[in-house]
Amino acid sequence: MVTKDVRLWLRVEGACVLILLATLYARAGGKWWVFLVCFFLPDISFVGYLGGSKVGAYFYNWAHCYLGPAVLGILSLRDWHAGVLAALIWGAHIGFDRMLGYGLKYPEAFGKTHLGWIGKGDPENG
């Protein structure tokens, strides 16, 4: 039961990140059509799974870790408005994924994430 409570908290946290970063994007003057076009770009990292589960997990996790948009945003704050907007979109995408229960991937299987099993064939719950 405690594990499910923690997963719920992490999903709520993801929703909060999504709402916060989308709001900051709007306040920064970003165009919504750009937000929508770019929102799913981090999912291009799925191509890594063509190289197997270990390679796929590496690329997916790199594109779905808050560190990337945080570094881009910090480096862009001084004089690159487009970089800040890109970081906000990227971070919002990660929050969206977390809200839906898609966590960072383990290399053993595509469905094994830090937020629990995703998809069919859950070895923990049959």
> Which residues lie closer than 8 Å to 2 by C-beta, 6 or more apart?
none
Answer yes or no: is 55 within a domain: yes
DSSP 105: B
Answer yes or no: is 125 within a domain: no
> How many structural domains does the chain have?
1
Answer yes or no: is 105 within a domain: yes
Answer yes or no: is 19 within a domain: yes
pLDDT of 30 above 80: yes
| 4-8, 92-96, 111-115: which is most confident | 92-96
pLDDT of 15 above 80: yes
| Residue 19: both structure tokens together | 């709402």
Answer yes or no: is 77 within a domain: yes
Average pLDDT over residues 15-33: 98
Answer yes or no: is 122 within a domain: no
Give the 3-state secondary structure of residue 115. Answer: coil
Answer yes or no: is 126 within a domain: no
**Domain assignment of residue 28, given as a range:** 2-117
pLDDT of 124 above 70: no
Answer yes or no: is 109 within a domain: yes
Numbers of helices and strands, H then E, in the chain: 5, 2
Of the two residues 61 and 113, the one the predictor is more confident about is 61
